[in-house]
Chains A and B, each alone.
Chain A
Amino acid sequence: KNQVEQSPQSLIILEGKNCTLQCNYTVSPFSNLRWYKQDTGRGPVSLTIMTFSENTKSNGRYTATLDADTKQSSLHITASQLSDSASYICVVSAAGGYNKLIFGAGTRLAVHP
């Protein structure tokens, strides 16, 4: 069964600190892996998209890594800001031509001053 699991479920950090969110997946055949940021009550916003051949991709203070062998990904947030408080969702796309994405349940991050 295609699954995407994220950890931790929630996380609290102080402003200015770094953090790393984890994603494990069992989706096969694999097409790509995405990280989204979702503010409360809003739609998800794309942060990164990585294919099988990419193992690192950055978007400002966000850096995603992908290990396709172990089927793991991480999202590292550097020098966190209050505006980083949101849910971060790992999404894996199964190959097959159509855009069927498997969403993780997300990690809820709270950045405190």
Chain B
Amino acid sequence: DSGVTQTPKHLITATGQRVTLRCSPRSGDLSVYWYQQSLDQGLQFLIQYYNGEERAKGNILERFSAQQFPDLHSELNLSSLELGDSALYFCASSVGDRGYEKLFFGSGTQLSVL
């Protein structure tokens, strides 16, 4: 168990809908990262938050947004969903925001857009 909790584990929805994925980092970790993994693809970095502030942005679509709350949990909001958004969405956490720290990943949320 990595200590990173993601909910829900599975999500099935229809095109055009909006969903929210939730992540609770490991106790003491201030950084949260979101990744998207499409079928047979490598993980794609979406966005990073550190202690409530956005730190880095990757290939995140404008239809997607995220935030980190004062209690350090994070939510990833996906709107106007398309079939191509179906993927595994992972959250990871680390203590700080430097490039040499170990990342701990949650078990992911499997999103299926029908």
Contact = CB atoms under 8 A, between A and B. Distances in A.
A46 B4 CA distance: 14
Contact of A99 (B56, B105, B106): B56
Given A44-B105, A46-B102, A98 B110 contact: no
A68 B6 CA distance: 36
A55 B45 CA distance: 27
A98 B107 contact: no
A99 B35 CA distance: 12
A96 B56 CA distance: 11
B106 A31 contact: no
B48 A45 contact: no
Q: Looking at chain B, what size class is its interface with the partner chain?
A: 20 to 34
Given A98-B56, A100-B45, A42 B108 contact: yes
A43 B58 contact: no
B19 interface: no
Given A49-B102, A89-B43, A104-B42, A99 B2 contact: no
Contacts of A97: 97-99
Interface string B91-111: 010100111111111111010
A49 B100 CA distance: 8
B104 to A, nearest CB: 8
B99 A105 contact: no
Interface string A72-108: 0000000000000000010001111111110111100
A104 B110 CA distance: 20
A31 B100 CA distance: 7
Interface of B: 2, 4, 31, 33, 35, 40-45, 48, 55-56, 58, 88, 90, 92, 94, 97-108, 110
15 contacts: A4-B42, A31-B99, A31-B100, A32-B99, A42-B108, A43-B4, A43-B90, A49-B100, A51-B100, A95-B99, A98-B99, A99-B97, A99-B98, A99-B101, A103-B42
